[in-house]
Chain A
Amino acid sequence: MAASVRCFLRSGKNAVSALGQRGFHKSAPVAVQMMVRDALNQAMDEELERDERVFLLGEEVAQYDGAYKVSRGLWKKYGDKRIIDTPITEMGFAGIAVGAAFAGLRPICEFMTFNFSMQAIDQVINSAAKTYYMSAGQQSVPIVFRGPNGASAGVAAQHSQCFAAWYAHCPGLKVVSPWSAEDAKGLLKSAIRDDNPVVFLENELMYGVPFEMSEESQSKDFTIPIGKAKVERQGTHVTLVTHSRYVSYCLDAAVVLAKEGIECEVINLRTIRPMDVESIETSVMKTNHLVTVEGGWPQFGVGAEICARIMEGPAFNYLDSPATRVTGVDIPMPYAKLLEDN
C-alpha cells in the first residue's frame, strides 16, 4: 500500500522523535528516566523472557530493530524463532498471528503503523475479536496488535488518524492507549499476559519522550490493570478526560488554567475498551464539568461515547453545563505544516 511513504516515515523518524522531545514533562532527573520507546522494548523483552510462547512478528521487527526501533536488540537476544520479519502483507501476518494464537502461542503483532492495520482489519475483527465467542469459549485468541497510532508529524492524511474509536467499537477486543513510559510498560505487559486479543495503540510522537519511572515500575512484575483509568492530576472545577499524547496537552492546560484559579482534574483513560466509566462519573460528580480531549475525529469518537455514557448514568444530573468535546478537526489530515499544526 504505502511502501514508499513508509520509507519516508522512517527517514523522518529522527526529526519526529526530536520534536517529541520538546517534552511536556521535564521534571528534575531524580529517579530513573525512561523513554516510552524503551519502556515498550523492556516490556516485550521481559515478557519474551518470561513466557516461551510469546513471540513478535511484523515488518522490519528483526534485524532492522523495528521501523521505529521499538524492538531494538530483541532479534539479537531471541533469534529467528521468536522475532520474525514478515513479507509485506498486513492481512497475511495478522492472519498468521491469529492462527498461531489458535495453536497455543501468544503473538505480539506489530503494525508498522496502525494506518496499515486497515488492510488487516478483517482478521482483527472477524477472526481475532470474535472467535472466542463464536467457538463458545473453546478457542481463545491471546494476541497483542501493537504499533503507533494517531497523528504523527508531516505524514498527511493516510498516516495521521486515530483508530481508538474504530477498534473500541467492537466487542471481543480490548483497546489500550498508553501515555507515559510507566503506562507503556505496565499496560503492554498486561496486554501480553491477557488471554483476550488486545489492540495496543502507541503514539509515535511519544516514543522519544522521557518519563520518570517509579521504583515499582522498574520491576519485572510490574503491570497496570487493563480497564482502569488513572487520575493524573486532582482538581475540583472541571474534569478533563483524555488518552495517549493528549494527556500531556491536558496537564499543560491544567497548569495554565490553575494560574487563573481553575483546578482541572485530568483523567488518563489508559484503556478505551472496556472503558472505566466509573472513574469518569466519580470525577464529574465532584467537578460538575466535563471536557473530553482526543486526537481522533469527533463523529462516533471516544469523546462521543463518554458523553453518551455520562448521559445514561448517575453523573448526568451533576453536570452544571453541557459536556464539551475537543477532537481532531473533522477532515483528513492535510500535509502542509501550517495547516497540520492548526
Chain B
Amino acid sequence: MAAVRSMNKMYGVCFRRMAGLKASRLLQHRAFRVGAVHRQEPFDSTLEKPQFPGASAEFVDHLEFIQPNVISGIPVYRVMDRQGNIINPSQDPQLSKEQVLNFYQKMTLLNTMDRILYESQRQGRISFYMTNYGEEGTHIGSAAALDPSDIVFGQYREAGVLMYRGFPLDMFMAQCYANADDLGKGRQMPVHYGSKDLNFVTISSPLATQIPQAAGAAYAVKRENMNRAVICYFGEGAASEGDAHAGFNFSATLECPLIFFCRNNGYAISTPTNEQYRGDGIAARGPGYGMLSIRVDGNDVFAVYNATKEARRRAVAENQPFLIEAMTYRIGHHSTSDDSSAYRSVDEVNYWDKQDHPISRLRHYMTARNWWSEDDERSWRKQSRKTVMEAFERAEKRLKPNPELMFTDVYQEMTPNLNKQRESMWRHMKQYKEHYPFDQYVK
C-alpha cells in the first residue's frame, strides 16, 4: 500500500513535468512543497540504474548488508572545555557581559527554585515536583538562541526555557500551588506550566505527544510566513515513542521550520540509554528521516546556543526541520516519585554534579574574565534564595481558585449537562458547608 502510494506520487511528478500546459497548472499546486519535487529523480527508462520510486542509487553485484554502525560515533560539538576555556576562538559566540551574566543568573535561579520546590514537596506542601538539576545549560542555551515569537513545545523538564522567556517566579509558584493566580486555574499537576503570552504551549503529561503537535504548529508557522520557528523538546526516552517517529517523518515531508531538541540525559526514569536504543543515540536517526542533525555538549551553554541559533536560522530560511541531540546528565531524581539511588551510583551522580556541571563551567568562564567574583556569587546566592522564598510564601498564602471554575473551559460554552452539574455541586456544598473550607477559596 505504501509502495503504491509513493509510486502514484512519483509518476505524478514526472509525468507532469513532461506534459505541457496542463502539467504546469497542476505543478502550481505542488509549489508549496518545493523540496519534494527536487529530491525526486526524474524517470528515465534509458538509464541502466534503479528506477524504483522512493530510492535512487546504483545497482551492485555483490551481496552485502549495511552495517548498523554506518553512522556511529557522531562527534559532540562543544565550545568550552570543562574548565570554561574557549577551545576554538572562531566558535566563541562573543556574547556581552550582560548576556552571559543573564545566562548565569537564570541557570542558578532555576536551580534555587528547584531546591525550594523540591523541599516543599518533601514536606508535603505540594504533591509532585520535577527538578532540572544538571540540564540548566540545555534550557538557557537553547532558549537564548530563539526569537520570543517562536513557539515552544516542552516535555516537562524545560522550566528554564520558560524562565528565560520571562515567566515570573510568582507564576511558577502559583502553578505548583494551584492557587488563584495560576494561569491554569489549578487544573494541572505541578510543573505543567503554560503561557500563551510567552508562546509556551501547556505541558501535557503523556510522553511525546508534543512531537507531532510541534510538527503541526510548525506547518501553521510556515503557512503564516512570518519568520517564526517552533522548537520541540523531548528526552531520549520519549524518542522511543511512536509519536517521535511520526513527528520526525511529518516535519521532514511537510518541510517545516522546526527544531527537535533532544535532551539526552542518560536516563528515562530508571532506564539507561543502553537499554533505550541500540544505534548511536538520537542524532543518528536524523539522516534516516532526511533531516539535518547535530550532537552537542549540553553542559556547554555556548555550544547549545550556537547550534540552536544556526538551526533556527536555517530552519526558517530553508523551511526544514533540524535535530539537535544535547548530551547532558539528569543529576536529580526523575521526579519526586522516584529514588534514583536504586539504579545508579552516588559516584556517578557526583561526577556530573562536581566535575562536569553546566553552571560551574559557565562560572569558570566568567571568573576567567573577571566578570564574577566570590562576593558576587555569595550575594547573588543570598538574593536569589530570598526572592524565591518570598514568592514561595506568597503562593502558599494565596487563596485557591473558585470551585465554579471546575466546570468552565470544558467547552467554549457551557452545555446543559455542565450547568446541571454545577448547580448540583453548589447545592451540595451549601447543604454540607461545615465540611468545606470556603474561606480558602476565592469567592
Contact = CB atoms under 8 A, between A and B. Distances in A.
Interface of A: 3-4, 6-7, 60, 63-64, 75-76, 79-81, 84-89, 91-105, 107, 122-123, 126-127, 131-140, 171-172, 174, 194-196, 227, 274-275, 277-278
B416 A274 contact: yes
Interface string B239-265: 000110111011001100000000000
Contacts of A122: 206, 209
A135 to B, nearest CB: 4
B323 interface: no
Contacts of A171: 410
Interface stretch (B179-187, B293-301, B309-317): B179-187
A186 B365 CA distance: 65
B409 interface: yes
Contacts of A4: 1
Nearest to A100: B216
Contacts of B194: 134-135, 138-139
A88 B3 CA distance: 11
12 contacts: A92-B246, A93-B246, A95-B212, A96-B213, A98-B216, A99-B212, A101-B216, A102-B201, A127-B206, A133-B410, A136-B405, A171-B410
Q: What's the dominant secondary structure at chain B's contact region? A: helix
Contacts of B405: 136
A139 B410 contact: no
Contact of B212 (A123, A134, A140): A123
Given A134-B204, A139-B196, A103 B29 contact: no
Contacts of A172: 410-411
A189 B185 CA distance: 32
Nearest to B203: A134
Given A79-B30, A138-B194, 16 more contacts: A6-B1, A60-B5, A75-B29, A76-B26, A80-B31, A88-B1, A91-B243, A93-B212, A103-B221, A104-B220, A132-B409, A134-B194, A135-B196, A136-B187, A137-B409, A277-B416
Interface residues of B, number: 64
A135 B202 contact: yes
B214 interface: yes
Contacts of A76: 26, 29
A100 B97 CA distance: 39
A127 B1 contact: no
Contacts of B33: 80
B129 interface: no
Contacts of A134: 184, 187-188, 192, 194, 202, 204
Nearest to A278: B416
A136 B212 contact: no
B209 A127 contact: yes
Contact of A136 (B32, B185, B245): B185
B253 A96 contact: no
